Amino acid sequence: MRLRRFFFVGAALALALLSLSSGLQADDDRDEKKYNLIYVPTPEIVVEKMFEMAKVKKGDVVYDLGCGDGRVVAIAAKKFGTRGVGIDLNPVRIKEAHETVKKYKVEKLVEIRQGDALKVKDFNKATVVALYMLPEFMNWLEPIAKKTLKPGTRIVSHDYKWDSDWQPEQTIEFKGPERTHILYLWTVPDKK
C-alpha cells in the first residue's frame, strides 16, 4: 500500500512539474503570439531615411523597439555617435543584435536587451524611438509613448502608424530597392 501511494504521489509530482514547465514555455509562446511577431529587416536605405526624418544627431538616445538584428541602433551609433538601446523578445534576434553591435564596433554606445518592448523601465530616456512594428503593437504602444516619453522626443515608424487621432507630422513615401516604403514621424508634444 505504501509503495502504491509513493508511486502515485511521485507520478502526480512529475505531471505537475511537466505541466509547470510546459506552462512556462506556453507563456513565452503566448508573448510572441500576442505581438504577432514576424521579423523583416529594415533595409539600410530605409534606416538612413528614418534618421534623416528624425534629425538624429550626436547626443541622442535611440531606442529601437523590436530591434531584430540591431542594425538601427548600431548604425545610429556608428554614424552619429548616439547611444542606443535595442529591445527584442526573440533570443535569436538578440544574439544577432549583439553580433551586429560588435561588427560596427559600437559596444560602448549600444545596449541590447531581451524583453517586452511595451515594458521598458527607462523608456523616458529615449530622444528618438525607431519602430517597424505591426499595427496592433503600435496601438498598444501609443498610450505608453504619450504618457512616458519626454516632450520633443521623435518617433519614427516604418510602414505603420497609430490607429488614432495622433496624426504624424510628416509622412514620406519613397521607392526602395524592392518596394515602396512609407515612413511616419511624430514629435511628443508638451504635456498639458
- Topology of domain 44-187, per CATH? Rossmann fold (3.40.50)
The answer, yes or no, to whether residue 177 has pLDDT greater than 50, is: yes
pLDDT in tens, 98-126: 999 999 999 999 999 999 999 999 999 99
Amino acid (one-letter) located at 137: F
* pLDDT attached to residue 161: 95
Beta carbons of 124 and 145 less than 8 angstroms apart:
no
Share of residues in the chain with pLDDT > 90 (%):
73
pLDDT in tens, 32-70: 455 556 788 888 999 999 999 999 999 999 999 999 999
* pLDDT attached to residue 152: 97
Distance CA 18, CA 65 (A): 33
* pLDDT attached to residue 36: 52
Lowest mean pLDDT among 22-36, 102-116, 137-151, 162-176: 22-36
Residues 6+ apart with CB under 8 A from 100: 69, 70, 71, 74
* pLDDT attached to residue 13: 34
Residues 6+ apart with CB under 8 A from 25: none
Among 28-32, 72-76, 163-167, top mean pLDDT goes to: 72-76
* pLDDT attached to residue 176: 84
Q: What sign does the CA torsion over 75, 189, 117, 156 have?
A: negative
* pLDDT attached to residue 43: 87
The answer, yes or no, to whether residue 133 has pLDDT greater than 90, is: yes
CA within 13 Å, CB half, 180 = 5
* pLDDT attached to residue 37: 64
| This prediction's pTM | 0.80
- Rounded mean pLDDT of 145-170? 96
What are the E-state strand segments in 29-169? Answer: 61-65, 83-88, 110-114, 128-131, 154-158
Strands 180-187 and 154-158: antiparallel
**CB atoms closer than 10 angstroms to residue 167:** 10
Please give the mean pLDDT across all residues of the chain. 84
Residue 42 CB-density burial (10 A; 0-12 exposed, 13-18 middle, 19+ buried)? buried
Confidence band, pLDDT 50/70/90 cuts, at residue 4: very low
